[in-house]
């Protein structure tokens, strides 16, 4: 089964196997886990096992995310449409509005598609990623189809946290937590996916078993460079070198999003230091202080404080 490819999470896998084998899977499943833990991958595994019990090429394509997509235009409730993918029996929906918010047009397009089309396989699967980003309007549009879904349709929702999901959506789903695996297990799993052994070990320690984050860092040149800069910033903090920190951070003064992303990785490096990770130059009190400063800077950027001022203050305090 495809669900067996999910690392760790034995209880989750046992429950899903039981429901799939008995064909008693509820029509709405909510998978909850922090970004990078693999909730999206878990949803695709369940969808593949539901639609294609025998596996094969369609199941593999679904695991890669090669399914139809519901898209739309912000501000246009009637602009939604379905982009056809390799796997026609599955539809993915990811927020497209400001801050990744769902558009009502996307939900309406998905709803029309599953009511008006009839395809092969065992049924239809709808994958809705990060449903904590739904507002009340898009949630109400989804509820209309979740309350009385067409025969054979399985909804698979993911969220970073259960508390962030609107109660009306949460109450109609059976929820499972997607848990992190140990850095050791994460390392082995990522090596099995073709990640370089040294990188797999380093990133698994830094990101504390968050497999999705490790794979994203290992497979993207820009992200690897960002992690390296976060480690360089940590070295400057460990040496109390405010000048080196200021020089590095100066390159991010005009790009708030990039600055926030870098500080997110710097925060991960500091947190790894608190866990005793040997791969980070920050340890004990220095790691705790760096973590606090990173959190404060990230909050200031989110509050629209001038990035140049925020980064200059951070550099000074790291010295």
Q: Does 187 reside within a domain? A: no
Residues 168 and 233 in one domain: no
Question: CA geometry: angle at 18 spanning 12 and 23, to 5°?
Answer: 125
Q: pLDDT in tens for each of the 319 residues of the chain? A: 889 888 888 888 898 888 888 766 678 999 999 888 889 999 999 999 999 998 999 999 999 999 999 999 988 888 999 999 999 999 999 999 888 899 999 999 999 998 876 555 558 999 999 999 998 899 999 998 888 888 889 999 999 999 989 998 999 999 999 988 899 999 998 998 899 999 999 999 999 988 888 988 999 999 999 999 999 999 999 999 999 999 999 999 999 999 999 999 999 999 999 999 888 999 889 999 999 999 999 999 999 889 999 999 999 999 8
Domain end point (choices 117, 143, 177): 177
Distances from the Cα of 272 to the Cα of 215, 277, 292, 317, angstroms: 18, 5, 13, 20
Q: Does 210 reside within a domain? A: no
Q: Does 279 reside within a domain? A: yes
Q: Does 195 reside within a domain? A: no
Q: Does 265 reside within a domain? A: yes
Domain end point (choices 146, 177, 208): 177
Residues 86 and 139 in one domain: yes
Q: Does 54 reside within a domain? A: yes
Residues 22 and 139 in one domain: yes
Residues 279 and 151 in one domain: no
The structure's pTM equals: 0.80
Residues 159 and 13 in one domain: yes
Radius of gyration of the chain (CA): 21
Residues 124 and 270 in one domain: no
Q: Does 192 reside within a domain? A: no
Residues 124 and 10 in one domain: yes
Domain count, the chain: 2
* Helix/strand/coil (H/E/C) assignment for every residue in the chain: CHHHHCCCCHHHHHHHHHHHHHCCCCCEEEEECCCCCCHHHHHHHHHHHHHCCCCCHHHHHHHCCCEEEEEEECCEEEEEEEECCCEEEEEEEECCCHHHCCCHHHHHHHHHHHHHCCCCCCCEEEEEECHHHCCHHHHHHHHHHHHCCCCCEEEEEEECCCCCCCHHHHCCCEEEECCCCCHHHHHHHHHHCCCCHHHHHHHHHHCCCCHHHHHHHHHCHHHHHHHHHHHHHHHHHHCCCHHHHHHHHHCCCCCHHHHHHHHHHHHHHHHHHHCCCCCCCCCHHHHHHHHHHHHHHHHHHHCCCCHHHHHHHHHHHHC
Residues 167 and 41 in one domain: yes
Residues 46 and 172 in one domain: yes
Residues 88 and 14 in one domain: yes
Residues 21 and 127 in one domain: yes
Whole domain around residue 130: which residue ranges?
2-177
Question: What's the CATH code of the domain at 29?
Answer: 3.40.50.300
Residues 164 and 235 in one domain: no
| pLDDT value of position 25 | 64
Domain end point (choices 126, 158, 177): 177
């Amino acid at each position: 089964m495809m669900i067996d490819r999910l690392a760790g999470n034995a209880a989750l896998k046992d429950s899903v196997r039981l429901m799939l084998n008995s064909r008693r899977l509820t029509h709405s499943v909510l998978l909850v886990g922090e970004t990078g833990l693999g909730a999206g991958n878990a949803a695709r595994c369940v969808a593949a096992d539901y639609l294609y019990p025998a596996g094969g090429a369609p199941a593999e394509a679904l695991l890669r995310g090669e399914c139809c997509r519901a898209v739309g235009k912000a501000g246009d409730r009637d602009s939604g449409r379905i982009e056809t993918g390799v796997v026609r029996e599955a539809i993915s929906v990811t927020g497209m509005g400001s801050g990744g918010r769902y558009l009502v047009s996307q939900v309406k397009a998905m709803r029309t598609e599953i009511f008006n089309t009839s395809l092969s396989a065992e049924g239809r699967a709808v994958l809705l990623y990060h449903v904590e980003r739904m507002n009340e309007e898009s949630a109400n549009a989804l509820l209309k189809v979740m309350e009385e879904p067409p025969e054979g349709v399985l909804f698979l929702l993911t969220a970073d946290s259960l508390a962030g999901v609107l109660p009306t959506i949460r109450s109609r789903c059976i929820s499972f937590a997607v848990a992190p695996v140990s850095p050791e297990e994460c390392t082995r799993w990522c090596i099995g996916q073709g990640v370089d052994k040294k990188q797999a070990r380093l990133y698994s320690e830094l990101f504390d078993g968050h497999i999705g984050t490790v794979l994203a860092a290992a497979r993207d040149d820009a992200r690897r460079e960002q992690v390296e800069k976060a480690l360089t910033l940590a070295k400057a903090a460990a040496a109390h070198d405010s000048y080196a920190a200021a020089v590095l951070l100066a390159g991010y003064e005009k790009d708030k999003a990039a600055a926030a992303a870098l500080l997110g990785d710097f925060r991960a490096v500091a947190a790894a230091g608190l866990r005793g990770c040997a791969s980070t130059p920050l340890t004990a009190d220095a790691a705790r202080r760096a973590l606090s400063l990173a959190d404060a800077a990230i909050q200031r950027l989110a509050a629209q404080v001038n990035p140049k001022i925020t980064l200059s203050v951070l550099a000074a305090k790291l010295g």
